[in-house]
Amino acid sequence: MPSETLITPGKNAGRRRVEVVAAALFLLVAACAPASGRHEGAARIALAGGLQRTAIRSGDFVLTAYLRLGGPPAPLRVYIEGDGAAWTTPSWPPDDPTPSEPVALRLAARDPSPNVLYLARPGQFLDPSSPPVERAYWMERRFAPEVVQALSGAVDRVLARGGTMEAVEITGHSGGAALAVLVAARRNDVTALRTVAGNLDPGAVNDRHGVGPLAGSLDPLAAAPRLGRLPQRHFEAAADDVIPPGTAASFLRAAGGSTAGVTVVAATTHTRGWAEIWPNLLRLPLVTPLPGESRRTP
């Protein structure tokens, strides 16, 4: 049986509600707010967390990022946003994938580490002058190799800017968790992996929602065996209508070992309740699925 810890946020954790998600959706739940309002909301979140907006050209994309650099020896903590705005209907994707509830940005803003990098996904939070992004990159190609390469390249650029930082800790929310896994699997400097309400098994999630396979995307579950010795922890929402219960445990089993690194957090949904308690969740110990020495930075 998976080893699970049930965490209940404090009474100041804020109002909770269970999100009702259309059957075909496993993207971030978003209201139909104008793009300008979503940009302004993100700016307020970033300002409260001391994060500065920047644009990073990497691979085929210009990625919107928010950044706080205090310097070594602290590792660089990287946050990857979820899939973004919900689809208008099960067959009609949004024109703009910018989320109205940027969970990963909220987590980054609450992280007390001196070195934090938030990465939006291709097409999210773009300036009007930014080059357009093909809609496929928030549809079937959202976990494509070129997306993984671009995110990893953005991390490299920030590491170079930050001087002698060498270690990377990476966190992803929802679909951003899949990309966190895929980025970690291609790098040798990642020393910690955390996911929040993570889509770690897109095949199972798609089956649950009656959605076909993601043509052109990589599968994070296939990358799991390469991360068996990486310290990690996966947080699941107690009330999540998007990601099936047990998805994180399935990922850890695919990694080849213990599923003790799964934490089920009470009074949370797919998008609600995480930021308030994130500093406490960061203090939980990481688990190496396979016994023996953890993966080390060369």
- 3-state SS, residue 55: strand
pLDDT at res. 90: 57
pLDDT at res. 118: 98
Residue range 11-39: average pLDDT? 44
- 3-state SS, residue 296: coil
Both tokens assigned to 226: 């390469």
Q: Which residues does 44 contact at the CB level (< 8 Å), separation at least 6?
A: none
pLDDT at res. 128: 86
With bands split at pLDDT 50, 70 and 90, how would you rate the model's confidence at 292?
low
Give the angle subtended at the CA of 140 by the CAs of 144 and 244, to the nearest 5°.
Answer: 100
Q: Which of 74-88, 141-155, 232-246, 256-270 is the least confident region?
A: 74-88
Note the pLDDT tens digit of each residue in 165-180: 889 999 999 999 999 9
Q: In the chain, where do the E strands start and end?
A: 4-7, 52-58, 61-68, 76-80, 116-119, 168-173, 190-196, 232-237, 262-265
* Alpha helix stretches (DSSP H) within the chain: 35-48, 103-110, 145-161, 175-186, 202-209, 220-223, 247-255, 278-282
The pLDDT > 90 percentage for the chain reads: 68
Note the pLDDT tens digit of each residue in 38-48: 999 999 999 99
pLDDT at res. 133: 95
